[in-house]
Amino acid sequence: MTSKTLFEPAALGSLTLSNRIVMAPLTRNRAGAGFVPGELMAEYYAQRASAGLIISEATQISQQGQGYQDTPGIYSDAQIDGWRKVTGAVHAKGGRIFLQLWHVGRVSHVDLQPNGQAPVAPSAIRAATKTFVHNAFVDVSEPRALEPGEIPGIVEDFRRAAANAIAAGFDGVEVHGANGYLLDQFAKDGANTRTDAYGGSIENRARLTLEVTAAVAEEIGAERTGIRISPVSPANGISATDPQAQFNYIVEKLDEMGIAYLHVVEGATGGPRDIAPFDYGALRRRFGNSYIANNGYDLQLATARLEQGLSDLFAFGKPFIANPDLVDRLKAGAPLANLDMATLYGGGAAGYTDYPTMAVPVDA
């Protein structure tokens, strides 16, 4: 088996992808008024449509679900119309795109919340992290614990957002269950000290993740549903005492739903892969459909893991920012451009749609 295998078609649910390279979700804070995707976002995603699959930037399912300034939503008609321009542009280039559905939970600020209210969380424990608001990184606000009667509404918001995504032309959705956001907060005991049906035991802490995923799969079909998890990542001040047992259980239950894929951040999000002991092979063995490996992958590591049968697809994040033609560059063994960190969050076309492609395409 050679590295070219990465560039051959692969199945994902009912779809056939052009290659095994996935564009990971990347928050860029460039939505317009009303948190609506605009023409610039359509251009950005279309430039990267050679990925086998694009997973969109995290997109809030409600205003309550927002945690950073200028991130897009999927709960209004204007947002659906805006995203329709994005999916149309990607499909016109032959690409496939899923929308990542997001509720940040406690990783938010009162200035982003409806009527300046406190962010919500499983428990009233403030996260040791910052958020991006008013063009600056500031400490997150103190959250309040969700009442039991509010939780079905969260599930319904995810369900409605999934339906809206399909109406906007997406090929499917990814439930964001990673990186210290709401579903991850419920799953991990460092953020969840509840004593009701959503806290305490492994089964109870997994409940919201499983209820949300089941609702999404019921709404749009399991074959168009994926989920992202990060078992040991400390992102956004999250922690867990039992990640292996917790996520073995979650993945077993997800497998029973027959969803299209499991997207796993292996290690610390954007950081060391070996930050904590964890057997990712145990997750792969428990999940019968596609496994997407994420975090620190390059061509060499992805090729080796594919040859070993450890993953089906490989998600690349930041390399896609500065290299809209990343697939061609990897195929050609060409050097990769570096991203401009100063333009990563917010702004306009600079550092967003103005990164050049290779002078000579691979197949020219």
- Residues serving a catalytic function are 181
**Cα–Cα distance, 178 to 183 (Å, whole number):** 7
341 φ, ψ (degrees, to nearest 5): -65, -25
**Cα–Cα distance, 363 to 129 (Å, whole number):** 45
Q: Which residues of the chain form beta strands (DSSP E)?
A: 10-12, 15-17, 21-23, 53-60, 97-102, 120-121, 130-133, 136-139, 144-145, 172-177, 225-229, 261-265, 290-294, 313-316
Nearest C-alpha neighbor of 168 from the set 25, 315, 36 = 36
DSSP class of residue 237 equals G
Beta carbons of 66 and 112 less than 8 angstroms apart: yes
Beta carbons of 54 and 97 less than 8 angstroms apart: yes
